[in-house]
Amino acid sequence: RKEVEQDPGPFNVPEGATVAFNCTYSNSASQSFFWYRQDCRKEPKLLMSVYSSGNEDGRFTAQLNRASQYISLLIRDSKLSDSATYLCVVKGNDYKLSFGAGTTVTVRA
Amino acid sequence: GAGVSQSPRYKVAKRGQDVALRCDPISGHVSLFWYQQALGQGPEFLTYFQNEAQLDKSGLPSDRFFAERPEGSVSTLKIQRTQQEDSAVYLCASSQSTGLAKNIQYFGAGTRLSVL
């Protein structure tokens, strides 16, 4: 079983729609959580960190449920530019990042 | 400022050939990481350097893979006798340190290796 599991999608949504997806992680000792964004043939870029209390960054909202070991990302008012693969990332109390395989989101006009 | 720089961006190798991939981390970043990303998958950890010391190479898939960072800045990932299963994107990342649990890793654009 992979350490981080994600629904691969794809999620095809119209502009302006809300889209949400989750990932689950297996290591209960995980300390830090992130969402990275990766455009086709580009490097992963940090979208946002995920905090226990949940956090927002503009149209993006991330939630963490430690008891159930899942992380969610919600995108409101989707833009064409939000089309990308979203990588769920988990870190233990060290330096290693564990990545999910990514969830593909396509926003159509 | 400049980000993480990797070269070459693309490399085509014949099976059995040796390749060397270069990473220039962000200036002053102590920590450097190599990841391997297969098609349709997330990046997988290969190895970690703190300055010039290779502290973890547990993710290297075989002894054909070797990484170094002799002066604590530029790093090279070398793959000897390449095999088709080595075809992937090799990503380098750097961070200021690892002292903080939330320390951010910044990625380079990667080297796409195709072994024929």
Which residues of B have a CB under 8 Å from any CB of A?
A: 4, 31, 33, 35, 40-45, 48, 56, 91, 95, 98, 101-110, 112
Confidence at residue A93, expressed as pLDDT on a 0 to 100 scale? 74
Confidence at residue B97, expressed as pLDDT on a 0 to 100 scale? 77
pLDDT in tens, A39-49: 998 999 999 99
Confidence at residue B86, expressed as pLDDT on a 0 to 100 scale? 97
Using a CB-CB cut-off of 8 Å, the residues of chain B touching A42 are 109
Confidence at residue A107, expressed as pLDDT on a 0 to 100 scale? 97
Confidence at residue B89, expressed as pLDDT on a 0 to 100 scale? 97
pLDDT in tens, B13-28: 999 999 999 999 999 9
- Number of alpha carbons in the 13 Å side-chain half-sphere of residue A58: 6
Confidence at residue B104, expressed as pLDDT on a 0 to 100 scale? 87
- Whether chain B has a CB inside 8 Å of the CB on A106: the answer is no
3 state DSSP class of A81: helix
pLDDT in tens, B59-109: 999 999 999 999 999 999 999 999 999 999 999 999 987 665 557 899 999
Confidence at residue B17, expressed as pLDDT on a 0 to 100 scale? 97
Q: B114 vs chain A: nearest CA distance in angstroms?
A: 14
Distance CA(B94)–CA(B4), nearest Å, equals 7
Nearest-by-CA chain A residue for B32: A95
Q: Quick check: B9 pLDDT over 90?
A: yes
The answer to whether residues B61 and B67 touch, using CB atoms and an 8 Å cutoff, is no
Q: Quick check: A104 pLDDT over 90?
A: yes
pLDDT in tens, A64-94: 999 999 999 999 999 999 999 999 999 987 7
Beta carbons of A101 and B56 less than 8 Å apart? no
Beta carbons of B102 and A49 less than 8 Å apart? yes
Task: Tally Cβ neighbours within 10 Å of residue A35.
Answer: 22
Nearest-by-CA chain A residue for B38: A101
Nearest-by-CA chain B residue for A99: B42
Beta carbons of A44 and B107 less than 8 Å apart? yes
Q: B86 vs chain A: nearest CA distance in angstroms?
A: 18
pLDDT band at B10 (very low <50, low <70, confident <90, very high): very high
pLDDT band at B6 (very low <50, low <70, confident <90, very high): very high
B48, B101, B108: residue with CB nearest A32: B101
Q: Quick check: B1 pLDDT over 60?
A: no
Q: A17 vs chain B: nearest CA distance in angstroms?
A: 25
Mean pLDDT of chain A: 94
Confidence at residue B98, expressed as pLDDT on a 0 to 100 scale? 64
Q: Quick check: A109 pLDDT over 90?
A: yes
Confidence at residue A79, expressed as pLDDT on a 0 to 100 scale? 97
Beta carbons of B45 and A32 less than 8 Å apart? no
